[in-house]
Structure 1
Amino acid sequence: MPSDDAARILVTSARMPFAVDEIHKLGDEKGHHLIATDTFRETPGGHSKGVDELILTAPPTQQPDRFVDDVIAILNSERIDWLLPMFEEVFYLAAQRARIEAAAPHTTLFFPELEKLLLVNDKTRFADLCRSLGLPVAETVVCTTREQWVEATQRWENWFARAALGRGGLDVVTNTGPLAGETPVDAVTPTAAEPWLVQEYLRGTDRCSFSVVHDGEVVLHSCYEHPLTIDDRGGIVFESVDTDASLAAVQKIAAELDWTGQISMDYLVADDGTHYMVECNPRPTAGCSVATADELDTALFRPDGLVTVPPGRKKMIKAAVLRDALKNPRRVREIRAAAKGAGSVYVQDGDVMPLIYSALSLRHVLAYRKAAGKERSREQLVAAQFFDILYDGSDLTAGPSA
Structure 2
Amino acid sequence: MRVLITGSRAPVAILLARSLHAAGAVVYTADSLRPNFGQNSRTVTEDFCVPSPRFASHDCLATLARLARDKQLDAIIPTCEETFALAAGRTALPPSVRLLCPDIAILDQLHHKGRGIAFAASLGIATPETCAQPDVTRDGILKRAYSRFSSHVIPLRGTQEQRQKAADKKPTDDGGDGEWVWQEWILGKALCTYSLCHNGQVLAHAAYRTPYTVGLGAGIFYDAVHGPMYDASLAAAQKLAAETHYTGSLSLDFIEEATGRLVLIEINPRATMGLALLSHQPAFAVCWKTLLGGDKAPEKVVPGTGRRQLKAAMLLLGRKRSWRDVFTTPDVLSDPNDPGPARAALCIYLSYAWQAKKKKLSTLAFSTHDIEWNG
Question: TM-score under structure 1 normalisation?
Answer: 0.82
Equivalent positions of 1:101-180 (< 5 A) are: 103=94, 105-143=95-133, 149=134, 152-156=135-139, 159-174=140-155
1:397 is aligned to: none
* CA contact 1:120–1:282 (8 Å) conserved in 2: yes
Amino acid at match of 2:169: A
Contact 2:277 2:304 in 1 (8 A): no
Report the number of matched residues: 356
Matched, 1:351 2:334: no
In the TM superposition, 1:201-350 aligns within 5 A as: 201-242=185-226, 243-291=230-278, 292-301=280-289, 302=295, 303-309=297-303, 311=305, 313-324=306-317, 327-328=318-319, 335-339=322-326, 341-350=328-337
Cα pair distance change 1:200/1:280, threshold 3 Å:
closer
Determine the C-alpha separation between the residues in 2 that align with 1:314 and 1:107.
35
Aligned-residue offset at 1:319:
0.8
- Tell me how far 1:16 sits from its aligned partner: 0.9
Per-residue deviation at 1:365? 3.8
The CA deviation string for residues 60-85 of structure 1, in whole angstroms up to 9 with x for no partner, is: 11100000011111111111112110
Deviations 1:332-388 (A, max 9, x none): 5xx234446421112223422213333333323444455xx526xxxx121111111
Q: Residue 3 of structure 2 corresponds to which residue in structure 1?
A: 9
Structure 2 counterpart SS, 1:22: helix
Q: Structure 2 unaligned runs (5+)?
A: 158-162, 290-294
Indicate the SS of the match to 2:215: coil
Q: Distance in 2 between matches of 1:41 and 1:382?
A: 15
Aligned residues of 1:368 and 1:387 also touching (Cα < 8 A): no
Task: Give the conservation status (yes or no) of the 8 Å contact 1:295–1:307.
Answer: no
- After the TM superposition, which residues 43-82 of structure 1 pair with which residues of structure 2 at under 5 Å, given as runs? 43-82=36-75
For structure 1, list consecutive stretches of 5 or more residues without a partner in the other structure.
1-6, 144-148, 394-402
Which residue among 2, 19, 23 is the counterpart of 1:25? 19
Deviation, 1:221, is 1.1
What's the TM-score, normalizing by structure 2? 0.88
Aligned-residue offset at 1:90: 1.2
Partner of 1:396: none
| Structure-1 residue corresponding to 2:181 | 197
Distance 2:44 2:85 in 1: 23
Contact 1:217/1:251, CA 8 A, preserved across alignment: yes
Q: Which residue of structure 1 lines up, in the alignment, with residue 83 of structure 2? A: 90
Relative distance call for 1:63 and 1:343 in structure 2 (3 A) is same
Q: Deviations over 1:218-253 (max 9, x none)?
A: 111111111222234311110111220011001111
Find out whether 1:374 has 2:368 as its counterpart: no
What is the SS of the residue equivalent to 1:174? Answer: strand
SS in structure 2 opposite 1:98?
helix
Q: Please say if residues 212 and 221 of structure 1, whose CA atoms lie closer than 8 Å, have aligned partners that are also in contact.
A: yes
SS in structure 2 of the partner of residue 392 of structure 1: coil
Alpha-carbon separation, structure 2, partners of 1:337 and 1:202:
31
Match of 2:347, SS? helix
Corresponding residue for residue 160 of structure 2: none
Cα distance in 1 for partners of 2:271, 2:12 equals: 7
Cα pair 2:61 2:92 within 8 Å, conserved: no
Distance 2:251 2:300 in 1: 16
CA contact (8 A) 2:2 2:25 kept: yes
Contact 2:149 2:215 in 1 (8 A): no
Contact kept? 2:191, 2:253, Cα under 8 Å: yes
CA shift at 1:196, angstroms? Answer: 1.5
Pair 1:189–1:381, CA change in 2 (3 A): closer
Residue 212 of structure 1 aligns to a residue whose secondary structure is strand
Preserved CA contact (<8 Å) 1:60 1:89 = yes
- Give the letter for the 2:121 counterpart: R
Against the structure 1 CA distance between its residues 154 and 221, is the aligned structure 2 distance closer, same or farther, given a 3 Å change threshold? same
Identity of aligned residues (%): 26
1:175 Cα deviation from its structure 2 partner: 5.1
Output the CA distance in 1 between the equivalents of 2:332 and 2:179: 35
